[in-house]
Amino acid sequence: MSDTYTRRVEAVLFAAAEPLRAEDIRSYAGDGDLGAALADLAAHYGARGVQLVERGGRWLFQTAPDLADILRRTREEPKKLSRAALETLAIIAYHEPATRAEIEDIRGVAINKGTLDVLMEAGWVRPAGRRETPGRPLQYASTPAFLAHFGLASRRDLPGIAELKAAGLLEALAGDTISDAPLETVAQAG
């Protein structure tokens, strides 16, 4: 890790107040083999107390997962989200961009405006423009802070139905038609 460019990239990431995209890193560190520098740094910090990780296309140093409990004692515990807020967050994450009407349709109940406000204040949800339909409803999407908080590199890392059922988070309903089989298998059976 003695390469000058790698050291510049390390300094930029270390001093950053928030996670940085590759183009942001380049704007400070200059031109060089950024991919190789990030790989070298990730390998160098892999077994250390802090690690270099990519979350939502942004790079940051974070505490090693096995040491996180050491810091929890000194950190203020965040307020727990209501069930409505958790359901709303999940719907937005899995169906983004989603409108208020779509969220209400999936949940089966009206959503309190305060619920979306809490999620936006937490930095996990953001307005994502307006849908080009009558009434032009506002759409909502998840943020890189949501991905970072839940340790996801991208939305593709969200658990699937089989994983949620295995964790006991989804109860099988009588007459449940959701299949755990791959889509190709389901399509061939039909």
**Of the ranges 14-28, 67-81, 122-136, which one carries the lowest mean pLDDT score?**
67-81
Give the mean pLDDT of 75-91. 78
CATH topology of domain 83-166: Arc Repressor Mutant, subunit A (1.10.10)
More confident residue, 63 or 174: 63
Angle at 186 between CA 188 and CA 89, to 5 degrees: 150
Place 59 in a pLDDT band, splitting at 50, 70 and 90.
Answer: very high
The ranges assigned to domains in the chain are: 4-70, 83-166
CA–CA gap between residue 41 and residue 11 (Å, rounded): 11
Whether 4-70 shares its CATH topology with 83-166 is answered yes
> What pLDDT is stored for residue 24 in this prediction?
94
CB 161 within 8 A of CB 177: no
Give the mean pLDDT of 10-19. 92
Give per-residue pLDDT as tens, 96-106. Answer: 899 999 999 98
CA-nearest of 88, 136, 133, 95 to 114 is 88
Quick check: 118 pLDDT over 50?
yes
> What pLDDT is stored for residue 190 in this prediction?
35
CATH topology of domain 4-70: Arc Repressor Mutant, subunit A (1.10.10)
Task: Tell me the pairing of strands 50-55 and 138-142.
Answer: unpaired
3-class state of residue 187 by DSSP: helix
Give per-residue pLDDT as tens, 128-166. Answer: 999 888 889 999 999 998 888 888 888 888 888 777 677
Using a pLDDT cut of 90, give the percent of the chain over it: 33
